[in-house]
C-alpha cells in the first residue's frame, strides 16, 4: 500500500473449517483439559491451520506481538519434558499420559514489538513506547493468553484434545533450551494430540461446581 501500511489479510471463512457447524458456545461447553494422549501423530498441516486461525485474536495496537514455539518432532517434545519434568521427578506424576502428547505449542508475547508499536506516531502519546515498566498491564501476556484460549477452542473444533499448563519456574529454562529471545514471556504451554480416553487420576478441579451467574456478574456496582 502506498501509505506504508501492510495489506490486510482476507478473513478465514467457515468453509475453511474442518468441522462445520460447531459454534463458539459449543466449543466452550465441550472443552476439557485432556491429560492423557495416544501417540498417534497429528495430521500434517493441522497445527499450521490451527495456529493461523488462533493468531487472529486481537492484540494491543494490532501489533501482532505473539509468536509460537511449536514442538512436534519426538526429540523436540522429549527435550521439553526433560527440561520441565526431568526423569527424577516423574515417579508419582499423576498424569503420565500427558507426556505422550505428540505436540506442544507455547505462545510467547514479545515486549519489544509492543514498545516499537507504541513508539509509532499514532501511539507515541500513550507514553508506552519507552520501557516495559511503563505498562500497568503487560499486554504481551494478555494477548498471548487470548491466543492460547482461541487455540484451545479451535482444537476442540478440530476434534482433538489439549491441555494448557503453566511453565512457572521453568519458563527461563525453556527459553534457553529452545533459543527463545530472552525478553519473551509466555502464559503457559499447550499439549495437543488425540485423547486416549485414559485418565489415571481425574482432576479434582473439574469436580468443582460452576459458580452461579448471579455470583460473578455485578451490575452498576460491585
Q: What is the domain extent for residue 153? A: 42-198
The H or E element containing residue 126 is: none
Over the stretch 187-205, which tens digit does the pLDDT of each residue have?
999 999 999 977 656 678 7
Q: What is the pTM of this model?
A: 0.86
Total domain count, the chain = 1
Is position 8 within any domain? no
Going across the sheet that includes 66-71, the strands are 66-71, 103-109, 189-193, 161-165
Q: Are 8 and 68 in contact (CB under 8 A)?
A: no
CATH code of residue 48 = 3.40.109.10
For residue 6, the number of C-alpha atoms closer than 13 Å in the C-beta half-sphere is 6
Which ranges of the chain have pLDDT less than 70?
1-21, 199-202
d(CA 56, CA 62): 10
Is position 3 within any domain? no
d(CA 169, CA 16): 39
d(CA 45, CA 32): 23
Amino acid at each position: 500500500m502506498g501509505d506504508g501500511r501492510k495489506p490486510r489479510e482476507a478473513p478465514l471463512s467457515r468453509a475453511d473449517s474442518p468441522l462445520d457447524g460447531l459454534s463458539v458456545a459449543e466449543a466452550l461447553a465441550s472443552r476439557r483439559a485432556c491429560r492423557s494422549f495416544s501417540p498417534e501423530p497429528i495430521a500434517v498441516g493441522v497445527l499450521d491451520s490451527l495456529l493461523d486461525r488462533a493468531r487472529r485474536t486481537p492484540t494491543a495496537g494490532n501489533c501482532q506481538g505473539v509468536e509460537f514455539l511449536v514442538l512436534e518432532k519426538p526429540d523436540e517434545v522429549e527435550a521439553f519434558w526433560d527440561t520441565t519434568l526431568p526423569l527424577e521427578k516423574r515417579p508419582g506424576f499423576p498424569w503420565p499420559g500427558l507426556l505422550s502428547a505428540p505436540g506442544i505449542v507455547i505462545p510467547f508475547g514479545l515486549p519489544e514489538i509492543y514498545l516499537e508499536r507504541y513508539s509509532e506516531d499514532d501511539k507515541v502519546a500513550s507514553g508506552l513506547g519507552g520501557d516495559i515498566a511503563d505498562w500497568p498491564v503487560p499486554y504481551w501476556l494478555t494477548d498471548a493468553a487470548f491466543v492460547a484460549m482461541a487455540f484451545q477452542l479451535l482444537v476442540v473444533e478440530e476434534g482433538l484434545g489439549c491441555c494448557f499448563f503453566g511453565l512457572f519456574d521453568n519458563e527461563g529454562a525453556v527459553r534457553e533450551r529452545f533459543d527463545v529471545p530472552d525478553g519473551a514471556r509466555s502464559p503457559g504451554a499447550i499439549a495437543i494430540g488425540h485423547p486416549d480416553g485414559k485418565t489415571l487420576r481425574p482432576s479434582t478441579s473439574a469436580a468443582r461446581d460452576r459458580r452461579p451467574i448471579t455470583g460473578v456478574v455485578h451490575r452498576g456496582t460491585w
